[in-house]
Amino acid sequence: MKNYILRRILNLFFVLFLVSIIIFLLLRLAPGDPAKVIAGEHSSPEIIEEIRIRLGLDKPLITQYFIWFKQILRGNLGTSIQTRDSIMKELLLRFPNTFELSVFAMIFAGLIGFPAGIISAVRRYSFLDYVSMFIALLGVSMPVFWLGIMLMMIFGVKLDLLPIGGRLSVYTSLKPITHFYLLDSLITLNGRAFIDTLKHLILPSIALGTIPMAFIARITRSSMLDVLNQDYIRTAKSKGLRQNTVIRKHALKNAMIPILTTAGTIFALLMGGAILTETVFSWPGIGKYVVQAVYARDYPVVQGSVLFIAFLIAVTNLTVDILYAYLDPRIHYQ
Amino acid sequence: MKKILVFVLVGMFVTVAFAGCKTAEKALVTFVFAKGDAVRLDPADVTDGESITVMDNIFEGLVKYKPGSTEVEPNLATSWEPSSDGLEWTFYLRKDVTFHDGTPFNADAVVFSFERQRDENHPFHKYGEWDYWGWCFGEIAKTEKVDDYTVKITLDTPFAPFISTMAMFTVFVVSPTSANEWGGQWFTHPVGTGPFTFVEWVKGDHITLEKNPDYWGEKAKIDKLIFRVIDDPSARLLALTKGEVHGMEFPNPDDLENIKNNPDLQILSKPGLSVGYLAMNMGEDTPGYQEEFGDVRVRRAIAHAINKQDIIDYLYKGTAIVAKNPIPPTLWGYNDAIQDYEYNPEKARELLAEAGYPDGFKTNLWAMPVSRPYMFDPTKIATAIQADLAKVGIDAEIVSYDWGTYLDKTDNGEHAMCLLGWTGDYADPDNFLYVLLDPDSATVGSAGNVAFYRNPEVHRLNMEAVTTFDLAKRTELYKQVQVLVHEDVPWVTLAHATQILVFRSNVKGFVLYPTGDYHFDATYFEGEG
């Protein structure tokens, strides 16, 4: 087990190394001179040359990569061209926002998708099954942008129940400590901020959680159906166990593995930045940060963030894989 | 046990939640404006509008634009005078001003603010990149203190637009005390002399300013000014409709009709300092030159062939006005006497026949790959122009590259016709007529003048105008330049984009500036004083 984890961690660093090369090359090979783009319609050659030197673009590609690589080894992702702030600092500042939203989206997705999947599987081909699978299909195909705007229009403007976007109302003050707003409001015993934060989380969590919800419902259904056809379930049933007990004690646990894999992957992807949701709901997270960097041709931010996101995804995957061992004693690591 | 704990916690929060935190805030008049996030809050070290519109309220310069106009008036300087050769400008400063951190405003502060940008050996110089100093202030040789309240600025060459450049954000005066204290991190702790003081900046979320109670001029009418970051224009409008914010910038053109029909909302709009144009390459020494464009009759024919009003109505969707001059009508010096070439395909065909191209000719039309403030949808505009030209027999192929390459190749003159535009850095016709249409700017490889239009008379007038300090005389000279440009048609001037802001109906006192600056000091809510 120890060996396995060690190997996986080494593996993880190798993957990150590859990612760093790919993203670096992709950005460099993309057409267009960043210096020219930054200078815009101002076209004096001296200005452009100066910008090129400032960005280090006058150096050979290999040198540029190694300068960057050396920085990364020191845990420094570089500084943004646009804001000139440390990229690591900005990412860490935004990470709690994205994390909090992702957790709530997953809670929403799980709370609805998981039971819906179980019910569908148990009552296969029933009316309930059709309804929940139809909703799942709808959920997967719903454009997040549109869903977000609709939620805002209905619950924000028409019914006036929930705020339209942002992390916290401008009238609510909260002293940031961990930058996880819910945690911060608990620590500082700020009830108003706690409730305000929750209110702001609801609509974006629904928007972001809808697709994962649909995925979880479908994977739960198919995984449960698989398990329900197994011999040991038939044995359990023929022993005269109650349906509920069979499902809870025998089927569910065995059906969990594919569900957990899917949920883990989805969660990792959400943390990588829910670009559309964050944009619609003015959520100051990682996704929005990266998108703006792309628009502003802020290459260091793009490559730094991609690496950071790759790291998050790899770590989440690793955690999920390790969790298997505890869930399923049949899995052995060598 | 667990249940009891949960109950206690919930109970606690509900109590705290409803324990009247609201009362303290209610008394303050808070104005919330929805826009994009700032990048940096050092006025000398930014190039983006989102940062500038915040800093307009924190900082001030020696001079400023009159509200809603492009004319310069005193601000931190009460008066100024150029020497007779135009090389030395003396500014006399206000004596009753302090920065938000208590530092007195004086000649030292002005010298610090300017010299940190110019002088590479200045201790603060290393903290910034000072792009705009290079773009617009290259002529300043040095800034010196004469006495505590007098500053002398020396120029390399006489440059009349200098006084307009002094109203730019780049030369806002900053507190040397606070800048020295924070060094490279100062851009997150801005301290100026303006009507609002900086409180906090939660990146990606909001920036809060507060009324400066000790402001030397007329004090702000609102107590708190919050710039909330909402990037998506539809989300902005929803927040405004709901009343979560009181004003917003850049609505979707498609939403304008709905906004007009909503009695709770009002639209403010004004043409900005920009122009979008179609340049026709007249440079015989450029790789993209086609002899057809050397003939003024062909260029006039094209001007007659393009239906500009339709482009404004259907492609700009009313967010622009038709341009007949290279400079916008909100800029002084605008020549309103000029009669634009009317849309008339018949006349265009006649002119083409006269020039020896009765069946038209083949050419290319370059379109920018990106939306710019002066042109939202260049590809569609190019398609419309292509169709208009086809009607008079000109077969134009649309060409596009990525943005960096596009700029490179058009500077190089590889196009026959290209779409491009300009947003003025400062409010002086020189910033348009010299930068975009002077022979000096038509160097192949680094051309601002992508029509490669080289009329020596335009150059003579431009040069006379930058060395003349009388505004009336300068106005006259620039009007003549516009006449020449109109006659020679190096461009088909297409549009001046309008800036559009939407407010709640009870918001009063806000004035739009042609430069796109936002000043909230005069803004108030009707009924709340």
Residue B76 is classified by DSSP as: S
Q: Of A90-94, A327-331, B138-142, B248-252, which range is least confident?
A: A327-331
Q: Which amino acid is at B20?
A: G
pLDDT of residue B73: 95
Query: Do residue A280 and residue B235 have CB atoms under 8 angstroms apart?
Result: yes
pLDDT tens-digit profile of A145-196? 899 999 999 999 999 999 988 888 888 888 888 889 989 999 898 889 999 9
Q: What residues have CB less than 8 Å from B102, skipping those under 6 apart?
A: none
pLDDT band at residue A221 using 50, 70 and 90 as cut-offs: very high
* pLDDT of the residue at A138: 87
pLDDT at A140: 84
Contact in structure between B265 and B504 (CB atoms under 8 Å): yes
Inter-chain CB proximity B228 and A170 less than 8 Å: yes
Report residue B180 as tokens.
């020295």
Domain ranges of chain B: 56-184, 274-498
Long-range contacts of B305-309 (CB under 8 A, 24+ apart): B305/B343, B305/B345, B305/B348, B305/B388, B305/B389, B305/B391, B305/B392, B305/B394, B306/B278, B306/B343, B306/B385, B306/B388, B306/B389, B306/B492, B306/B494, B307/B343, B307/B384, B307/B388, B308/B343, B308/B492, B308/B494, B308/B495, B309/B343
pLDDT digits (tens, 9 = 90+) for A258-294: 888 888 888 888 887 688 899 899 999 998 888 888 8
Q: Across-strand partners of B507? A: B525
Percent of chain A's residues with pLDDT above 90? 30
Contacts of B395 by beta carbon, 8 Å cutoff, 6+ apart: B360, B361, B362, B363, B389
Name B524's bridge partners. Answer: B508
Tell me what pLDDT residue B4 has.
55
The domain defined by B56-184 folds into: Dipeptide-binding Protein; domain 1 (3.90.76)
Instruction: Report the 10 Å Cβ neighbour count for A257.
Output: 18
Residue ranges in chain B whose pLDDT is less than 50: 1, 15-25, 529
- Which position has the token pair 């209110």? A199
B-contacting residues in A 137-176 (Cβ below 8 Å): 148-149, 152-153, 156-157, 160, 163-172
Which of A282, A295, A297, A299 should be substituted to probe chain B, the one whose Cβ sees the most B Cβ atoms within 10 Å? A282
Give how far B227 is from chain A: nearest CA, Å: 10
All structural domains of chain A: 96-284 (1.10.3720.10)
Which has the minimum average pLDDT: A101-110, A197-206, A212-221, B402-411?
B402-411
Instruction: Collapse the DSSP code of B67 into the 3-class scheme (helix H, G, I; strand E, B; otherwise coil) and give the result.
Output: coil
Contact assignment for A37 to B411 by CB distance below 8 Å? no
- Interface check for B405 against chain A (CB to CB < 8 A): the answer is yes
Count contacts between A and B (CB, < 8 Å).
137
Helix, strand, coil percentages (3-state) for chain A, rounded to 5, are 75, 0, 25
Report the length, in residues, of chain B. 529
Q: CA A247 to CA A242: how far, in whole Å? A: 9
Asked if residues B365 and B319 have their Cβ atoms less than 8 Å apart, the reply is no
Which candidate, B385, B404, B403, B386, places its Cα nearest to that of B395?
B386
Residue type, position A157, single letter: V
CATH of domain B274-498: 3.10.105.10
The residues, ordered by sequence, that sit 6+ positions from B81 with a Cβ below 8 Å of its Cβ are B89, B90
What letter represents residue B83's amino acid?
A: S
Q: pTM for this one?
A: 0.87
pLDDT for residue B528:
60
The per-residue pLDDT for A332 is: 64
> How many CA atoms, within 13 angstroms, populate the side-chain half-sphere of residue A117?
27
Of B30, B229, B238, the CB nearest to A153: B238
Chain B contact for A33 (CB, 8 A cutoff):
yes
Mean pLDDT rounded to a whole number for chain A: 86
For B201: left if phi > 0, alpha if psi spans -120 to 50, otherwise beta; the answer is beta
CA distance A266 to A140: 13
Residues of chain B in contact with residue A97, where contact means CB-CB under 8 angstroms, are 204
Own/partner contacts of A292-297, CB < 8 Å, gap of 24 or more, are A292/B37, A292/B231, A293/A80, A293/A82, A296/A81, A296/A82, A297/A34, A297/A37, A297/A38, A297/A81
Cβ atoms of B200 and B58 closer than 8 Å: no
Q: Around B529, how many Cα atoms within 13 Å sit in the side-chain half-sphere?
A: 4
| Residue B401 in contact with partner chain A when CB distance is under 8 A | yes
Neighbours of B290 (CB within 10 A): 18
- A31 and B404: CB-CB below 8 Å? yes
Gap from B80 CA to chain A (nearest CA, Å): 30
Please determine, for residue A37, whether its predicted confidence score (pLDDT) is greater than 80. no
Question: Which amino acid is present at A51?
Answer: I
Q: Do B204 and A280 touch (CB under 8 A)?
A: no
User: Using CA atoms, how far apart are residues A259 and B464, in angstroms rounded to an integer?
Assistant: 77
Q: How far apart are CA A313 and CA A303, in angstroms?
A: 15
Give dist(CA B174, CA B41) in Å, integer: 11
Which tokens is A270 given? 């959400």
pLDDT reported for residue B26: 52
Tens digit of pLDDT for each residue in A52-77? Answer: 888 888 888 899 899 888 988 888 88
How many C-beta atoms surround the C-beta of residue A167 within 10 A? 27
Identify the closest residue of chain A to B134 by CA–CA distance.
A47
Residue A9: pLDDT band by 50, 70, 90 thresholds?
Answer: confident
Sign of the alpha-carbon torsion through A221, A224, A229, A235: negative
Quote the percentage of chain A above a pLDDT of 70: 96
Tens digits of per-residue pLDDT, A39-57?
A: 777 767 777 888 888 888 8
